[in-house]
Chains A and B, each alone.
Chain A
Amino acid sequence: MSLDTNTVRRIARLARLHIPESELDPLASDLSNIIGWVEQLSEVKTDGIEPMTTVVETAPHHREDIVNDGGNSSKVLSNAPDSIDGFYTVIKVIE
C-alpha cells in the first residue's frame, strides 16, 4: 500500500508534527516503503491466535495503600517553564 501526500498530511496532524509541504513527498515515499515491507505480515495465518498482551507472565502485585512519597514540590517544579506559589504554570492549553 502506498501512502499519498494527503494521508501523510493527515497522519502528521494526528501526530502533532509540523511537516513542511516540500517534505511531504519524500516522507510519503519513505513511509510507503516501510508499510509495503511490513505488509508481508498479512500472509501469516493468525486464525484463532490471541494478540499478545503480556510477553512475560508475572503475577500482578499490590502495594500497601499508604503515602510513601511527597513533599517535593520544589523538585517537581524544577523543570517547569514557570511557577507561581508552588503551582506549575504553563501556556493556556484549554480553549
Chain B
Amino acid sequence: MMTSGIDLKYLTISQANQALNAGDYTSHDLTQIHLDAMAAERNLNSFITETPHRALAMAEASDKRRSKGESIGPLDGIPLAIKDLFCTEEILSTAASRALDGFIPSYESTVTNNLWNAGAVLLGKTNMDEFAMGSANVTSYYGNCINPWKASSGNLVGRDLVPGGSSGGSAAAVAARLALGATGTDTGGSIRQPSSFCGVVGLKPTYGRCSRWGIIAFASSLDQAGPITRSVRDAALMLAEMAGFDSKDSTSANLPVPNYVESLDGNIKGLRIGIPSEYKLGSMPDEIEDIWEQGRNWLLDAGAEVVDISLPHTKYALPSYYIIAPAEASSNLARYDGIRYGLRVEGEDLIDTYEKTRAAGFGDEVKRRIMIGTYVLSAGYYDAYYLQAQKVRTQITNDFNSVWKQCDAILTPTTPSAAFAIGDKMEDPIAMYLNDIFTVPASMAGLPAISIPAALNKEGLPLGLHVIGPAFTEQMVLRIAEVIEAAAEFTASPNINNIAAG
C-alpha cells in the first residue's frame, strides 16, 4: 500500500524513525495507514481489540513532540501491536480467555509502560492462544488467527495456515504489515515459533531481562516478554525500551540495559558457534536439515568457527516442561474463581460456583493443563513428577553451562516444520507440543534466543533459524542474528492485499 510516500512492504522501525525525523510524513500518517491496513485484513483475526482513538491521540502527541524538536527516541511515534497478555490501562485485556470477559485493567504493565514512555503508539491488542497455552493460536476464545502466508504448492495449497503460537496474532500482524513491531511473550517458544511460521524476527530475552509485572501469568519461572519485528535491528530497538529493572518484579534483573543497536557491528569473526548433535532428529524433514546446514555455512563465511557440541538432556526438556509449566499454571490460574473480577457462573453453592465458573471460563487446552498441573502437584505424585522434573531442569541448565566452555552461542532450527494447516495436530496434544522441541530447552535454562527468517521452503512458506546464547548475552545473540539476516536476504512477504497493492 502506498499512501503519503509510505510503503509498508519494506518499512522497518528504524527506517520509519528516520522518515519521521526527516519530516517525510507524520506519526499520524504512519498510524492511520496501519489502522487502515488492520481494517482491511480483519479476516486474519490477528487483533482481539483495535484501539484507533488511543492510537491517533498517541500519534498526535508524538508529532507535537517532534515538531518542537523534543523527540524521545527511536520508538517515538512508532505504531506497535501488543499481545493481549499485557495488561493495558483502561483497555480490555483478555489473555484470549472467556475467564477474563470484560476485564479492563486499572494499571499498565511495566513493559508496555516503558514502550509508551519511549513514545510508541498502541494500535491494539493481538490474538493469542488462551493464557498463552498453545502453538497454533487455535485455543483463543476469540477464534483462531490466520497466518498471512499461503502455500504456493503442495497439499497445503488453498488452506488457511496457523500463525504459530502463542503470540500468533503479534507475529501475523507484523508479517502482514499491520504493525511495525509487536510485543510477544515466550514461555516455551511462544515468541520464536510463531515468528518462524510467519517469517519475522522474534527474540526471547534472558529470564528477568524484561519485567513480568502486569503480564498475565502462565508459568512464572519461564515467562518472558520480547519483541517481534521485521528486522534484527528493530528487535534491538524494541528490546532496549522494553528491558530493565523493575522493583515490582522480584525476578527482574538489576542490571543496566546495554545499547543493543550499537552492538550490531556485523563482526562475528572468531565466535564459536555450537551445533548440538541432539537436535538432529531422525524424523527431521530435509528442508529443516538443509536450512540448518545453510545457516552453519553463512556463519562460517562470516568468520565464525563451528563446533560440534552435545546437550545430553535435550530429549527430556519437552517432557519436563510439560510438568513444570502446567504445575505453575494450575497455581497461577487458581485466581480465576469468578469472585472478584471476570466471568462468574452462579452455581448451587460456593464450590459449584467456582467449578461452573472455571468450566465455562477456560477452554479445553487450559483445562487439560490445569488438570495435569494439579495431578503432578498432588499428594503422592509430587516427588515422582514435579520434583523429578525440577531436577531434570537443573541438568538441562548444567548441560548449557558446561557447553559454554566450548562455544559462544548455539545454532539450531527454530521449529521442526513450517506452518501447518488450521485443524491439523488437533487430535493429539503431544503432536502439538512437539512444535516447541527446539525452543523449550533455552526456556528451561532461562537463556536468550532469537528466531530469524532464513528461507522459504519449496511450498513457499518461511523457515526460521534459532540462535541461543548464555544468560544476558542479547548483544551477541542479536549480532549473530543480524549476520544471518544479512546472508539470508529474506525479502519475501506474504501475498495479501495491503502488501500486493504496493
Bound complex: CA of A11 vs CA of B471, how far in Å? 37
Bound complex: CA of A38 vs CA of B385, how far in Å? 8
Q: Given known contacts A17-B355, A19-B367, A35-B372, what 17 new A-B pairs fall within 8 Å (CB)?
A: A11-B374, A16-B337, A18-B352, A31-B371, A31-B375, A34-B429, A44-B391, A46-B395, A50-B394, A52-B390, A52-B393, A56-B207, A56-B251, A58-B255, A79-B342, A80-B340, A81-B340
- CB within 8 Å of A: which of B224-282? 245, 247, 250-255
Bound complex: CA of A91 vs CA of B417, how far in Å? 49
10 shortest interchain CB distances as A-B pairs: A51-B390, A55-B446, A75-B106, A18-B355, A46-B391, A79-B341, A18-B359, A52-B393, A38-B319, A15-B374
- CB within 8 Å of A: which of B318-346? 319-320, 322-323, 330, 334, 337, 339-342, 344
Contact with B along A2-18 (1 / 0, CB 8 A): 01000110011111111
Asked if B501 is an interface residue, CB under 8 A from chain A, the answer is no
| Contact, CB under 8 Å: B378 / A56 | no
Bound complex: CA of A80 vs CA of B358, how far in Å? 18
Contact with A along B420-459 (1 / 0, CB 8 A): 0000000011100000000000001110000000000000
The secondary-structure label for the interface of chain A is loop
Bound complex: CA of A79 vs CA of B106, how far in Å? 8
| Contact, CB under 8 Å: A16 / B355 | yes
Bound complex: CA of A53 vs CA of B341, how far in Å? 31
Given contacts A44-B316, A52-B394, whether A15 and B341 have CB atoms under 8 Å apart is no
Considering the complex, give the chain B residue whose CB is closest to the CB of A36.
Answer: B430
The secondary-structure label for the interface of chain B is helix
Contacts of A37 in B (CB 8 A): 319, 322, 430
Q: What is the distance, in angstroms, from A6's C-beta to the closest C-beta of chain B?
A: 13
Contacts of A95 in B (CB 8 A): 350
Asked if B127 is an interface residue, CB under 8 A from chain A, the answer is no
Q: What is the distance, in angstroms, from A81's C-beta to the closest C-beta of chain B?
A: 7
Asked if B397 is an interface residue, CB under 8 A from chain A, the answer is yes
Given contacts A15-B330, A30-B429, A80-B340, whether A58 and B362 have CB atoms under 8 Å apart is no
A-B contact pairs, 13 of them (CB 8 A): A11-B371, A15-B358, A17-B362, A40-B315, A49-B395, A51-B390, A51-B391, A52-B221, A55-B397, A56-B206, A58-B208, A81-B340, A91-B353
Contact with B along A52-93 (1 / 0, CB 8 A): 111110111101000000001001101111000000101111
Bound complex: CA of A63 vs CA of B359, how far in Å? 40
| Contact, CB under 8 Å: A33 / B388 | no
| Contact, CB under 8 Å: B374 / A58 | no
Contact with A along B381-411 (1 / 0, CB 8 A): 0001101111111110100000000000000
| Contact, CB under 8 Å: B104 / A78 | yes
- CB within 8 Å of A: which of B353-384? 353-356, 358-359, 362, 367-368, 370-375, 378, 384
Given contacts A50-B391, A58-B208, whether A91 and B319 have CB atoms under 8 Å apart is no
Contacts of A15 in B (CB 8 A): 330, 358, 370-371, 373-374
| Contact, CB under 8 Å: A91 / B359 | no
Cβ-defined partner of B387 (8 Å) among A51, A61, A80:
A51
Contacts of A50 in B (CB 8 A): 391, 394
**CB within 8 Å of B: which residues of A?**
3, 7-8, 11-19, 27, 30-31, 33-35, 37-42, 44, 46, 49-56, 58-61, 63, 72, 75-76, 78-81, 88, 90-93, 95
| Contact, CB under 8 Å: B358 / A51 | no
Bound complex: CA of A79 vs CA of B101, how far in Å? 11
Contacts of B319 in A (CB 8 A): 37-41
Q: What is the distance, in angstroms, from A30's C-beta to the closest C-beta of chain B?
A: 6
| Contact, CB under 8 Å: A52 / B375 | no
Cβ-defined partner of A59 (8 Å) among B103, B254, B341:
B254
Asked if B65 is an interface residue, CB under 8 A from chain A, the answer is no
Given contacts A3-B375, A15-B370, A16-B337, whether A78 and B106 have CB atoms under 8 Å apart is yes
Q: What is the distance, in angstroms, from B373's C-beta to the closest C-beta of chain A?
A: 8
| Contact, CB under 8 Å: A41 / B341 | no
Given contacts A30-B429, A95-B350, whether A16 and B358 have CB atoms under 8 Å apart is yes
Asked if B500 is an interface residue, CB under 8 A from chain A, the answer is no
Bound complex: CA of A91 vs CA of B338, how far in Å? 10
Cβ-defined partner of A27 (8 Å) among B206, B255, B368, B373:
B368
Contacts of B339 in A (CB 8 A): 81, 90-91, 93
Given contacts A49-B394, A76-B106, whether A55 and B221 have CB atoms under 8 Å apart is yes
